[in-house]
Structure 1
């Protein structure tokens, strides 16, 4: 249980105890007295608790299904099919102007109105800043569909999430690695 969850649980317990105490106070106070009115107010503290429980239940019912596994998750190695020159657009916020980290990056490459899922890799010893052209290797989820569209010299845009984050062009196709190497 996280700290926030434990705090919420404690608050619910305290509010329920105060509401029960208000009900007891109301039961033993004289009708029409200020003490009975205070007991009634304390008893009403259960209302936000019930609202929170109902909203929690609705949130549980509407929770989206976990995302489907990517075909890249099933592949053990990175087998690039293209060498591209990619220029990532500089960020609009200066605080986000940090080097592109090493590791795997996933995107969609868009030519015209067609997009193809791809991934690219930045070596551990190599990071770079956005705005400068970089030669990078790309691997497609469906290379048989994508490669005919990505001929040497073809221009494309890079889509990550809902935003175009870069522009590039195909330098050359890469030959598949020999089997058993």
Structure 2
């Protein structure tokens, strides 16, 4: 049995038939007496233009060029540019999470309220958590245009690796 696939010519023919029946329905409606079965049949045929218009709109929407999706990862080998300095306080789970993470794990997520931002630290997250006791840690955002408005100095946030918070943090300063 051949597969049933929709071809462009088949869709065009179906659309032409629906539009033709809708035109016939409009003519019947116009010529038939107002309260009659023939007038009602004309109304039903006239409604057939709705799927045809839906198909036309779908065809037009498919022709609209799509924007590429936003980046979800930092470019390979891209230089680190700090967007803010944060004072980190490791959570009790941090040691276990970092032991299970990839060696040299740099990616993390900054959570402020209900918003999350993909970020990375300069070295590894493990090194950043160890260095956090002595100095603020620089953090770079994947999409820096979105985050700075949410992260004014003094703002508290969580630093996640995977799905687990490895630190609570406070914005010390924004880098320019």
Provide the TM-score with structure 2 as the length reference: 0.48
Provide the TM-score with structure 1 as the length reference: 0.47
